[in-house]
Amino acid sequence: MLPERYHSLAQAHPANFVPLTPLSFLGRTAAVYGHRTSLIYSDRHYTWSETQSRVQACARALRALGLSAHGTVSVLAFNTPETFEAHYAVPLAGGVLNTINTRLDADTIAYILEFAECEILLVDRELLAVALPGLRALAALGRPAKVVLIDDALAATQPDIPADLDLAYWEVLIRAHAEGAPLPYSVENELAPLSINFTSGTSGRPKGVVYHHRGAHLMALGTIAGWALPLHPHYLYTVPLFHCNGWCHAWAMTVMAATIVCTRAVVPAQVFQLLASHDISHMGGAPIVLNMLANEDSRPQQLNPQRTVQVMTAGAPPPAAVLARMEAMGAQIMHVYGLTETYGHVLQCAPQTQWQEHDAEHIAELKSRQGVRFPGVHAARVVDSDGHDVPADGQSIGEIVICGNTVMSGYLKSPEATAEALSEQGFRSGDLAVVQADGYIQIKDRDKDIIISGGENISSVEIENALYKHPAVGDAAVVAMPHEKWGETPCAFVELKGGADTSEAELIEHCLTHLARFKKPSKVIFGALPKTATGKIQKYVLRQRLL
């Protein structure tokens, strides 16, 4: 209880309480740094003042199209200026942003459009065909969505537009609504929905994760502090903007008046060219992206000859060998951990000065851990089945639980799933980890991915890290394989680097030099590995191959 003398002072007042929203970032940056370059995409360049004008025009256009309060605007597009602009224009218009994975099949996209109750779809012309079944389904239900086309000249294909499809064009709308009263960069309720991000849906239908304005605002500020983001960075946007709203970097980079270089697709040769030609200082990417760059035959000696490139990586535990190769090319890696349900990164492997006393291989091992809580995260714990914190012994396994303002509001239309995920202790991640003696958290596996062989718990991640140390291994995944005697044993699926060669016996022997004998894979299967759009290897597909 507060003492009586503070009662009147502990109430919100318009002078000292304004609901948090990332919308406020754009207004401030355009006012202070309006002349600076905001977005670069091929030969298109915008300033922050121009970006603000385009966002305002698009927001007015969305309202003119009939967007309702908190109505869903779905976006099926690549990392182009339009997708960035939608991150401001949709909430500015009073809508809820729903960015959709560009690599999903038509059936899943149709499900998302219907489940999210899409009112307006912003779609890249190249992706229109895969969106059409969903649009037809909405029309059949009596609630057709308005279609706004992004007609990008750099698209790989320019498919024909069905004659019966009524649509508008993004650039035409912006020109038509260039004039008008400015919409305010504010919201009445900071906990109101800002965006819906659907999970990858690797088992069953994807779930719609709802973000609020407060969480996105604080995640952006936490990123600036945790990554030591300077003023005016040059940021290469290789993280898909459909993935946790591009890790909320669209909003964080706005705060620091960055120059953001957009990429339609991640092609190593193009990435290398952009890194050098635009003097890139920061970028992000899943470990699979780093692996692509590190193993590209045409890779340069230095990513950017002018400076060290700060790289944030997340999405899967990165192999230490990949981190070491990237740093040899002039990258400074910040490994972070998070989930769709936590607005992206909530743990970071914050580097310590004393790590420099170790050799490069051990430093890479240290940096591959998930780490400590991110700035702004209230608590990150590893708990046992009784909810007690596991000891910091590097051996006791528990589940990562996250509590803070950057935990989702819940799953859309799924109260039971929300109640299961959000316990009194926080958000239950489903990721199994240990706590090392220095307090750093290290993932050992997903709950379902731990292999129990002869009563021993075996981490598939530990075996994968050992495999990545072999020079011929490009990608690796380990899953449980049924075994008559031991119940189950590890089976490794390996995708070799281009032109590389090895054998099953050689890889198993290689693992024995890094692992206890009972942890070695019993079998190695070679071939291309199935991956999600964010670079995660689909282990459930590999398990099905063993049935």
348-358 tens-digit pLDDT: 999 999 998 98
Could you say which of 3.40.50.2300, 3.90.1150.10, 3.40.640.10, 3.40.50.12780 is the CATH number of the domain covering 266-446? 3.40.50.12780
Contact 95, 193 (CB under 8 A): no
Question: Matching CATH topology for 37-214 and 266-446?
Answer: yes
Say if residue 19's pLDDT is above 90: yes
- The string of pLDDT tens digits covering residues 222-254 is 999 999 999 999 999 999 999 999 999 999 999
Q: What is the model's pTM? A: 0.85
Say if residue 503's pLDDT is above 50: yes
Q: β-strand 426-435 against 259-262: which pairing, if any? A: unpaired
Percent of the chain topping pLDDT 70: 95
Tell me what pLDDT residue 200 has. Answer: 66
Residues forming a β-bridge with 451: 458
503-to-84, 494, 500, 529 alpha-carbon distances in Å: 46, 10, 11, 17
The confidence band for 67, taking pLDDT boundaries of 50, 70 and 90, is very high
Could you say which of 3.30.390.30, 1.25.40.10, 3.40.50.980, 3.40.710.10 is the CATH number of the domain covering 37-214? 3.40.50.980
How far apart, in whole angstroms, are the C-alpha atoms of residue 489 and residue 327?
Answer: 34
Average pLDDT over residues 396-421: 95
Min mean pLDDT across 253-257, 347-351, 512-516, 520-524 is at 512-516
Contact 462, 365 (CB under 8 A): no
Average pLDDT over residues 310-316: 85
Q: Classify residue 130 as exposed, middle or buried by CB count within 10 Å of its CB (0-12, 13-18, 19+).
A: buried
- The string of pLDDT tens digits covering residues 372-396 is 999 999 999 999 988 999 999 999 9
How far apart, in whole angstroms, are the C-alpha atoms of residue 74 and residue 54?
Answer: 18
| Kind and range of the H or E run holding 150 | strand 146-150
The confidence band for 534, taking pLDDT boundaries of 50, 70 and 90, is low
Contact 363, 377 (CB under 8 A): no
Contact 214, 408 (CB under 8 A): no
Min mean pLDDT across 69-73, 101-105, 222-226, 273-277 is at 101-105
Q: Classify residue 383 as exposed, middle or buried by CB count within 10 Å of its CB (0-12, 13-18, 19+).
A: middle
Tell me what pLDDT residue 315 has. Answer: 67
- The string of pLDDT tens digits covering residues 428-451 is 998 889 999 999 999 876 666 678
Average pLDDT over residues 140-160: 92
Tell me what pLDDT residue 455 has. Answer: 55
- Class of CATH domain 454-545: alpha beta
Helices and strands in the chain, H and E counts = 17, 27
Say if residue 406's pLDDT is above 80: yes
When the pLDDT of each residue in the chain is averaged and rounded to a whole number, the result is 91
| Domain ranges (residues) in the chain | 37-214, 266-446, 454-545
Say if residue 417's pLDDT is above 60: yes
Tell me what pLDDT residue 156 has. Answer: 87
Min mean pLDDT across 17-31, 95-109, 172-186, 398-412 is at 95-109
How far apart, in whole angstroms, are the C-alpha atoms of residue 248 and residue 322?
Answer: 25
Tell me what pLDDT residue 269 has. Answer: 93
Average pLDDT over residues 413-420: 95
> Residue 504: what residue type?
E
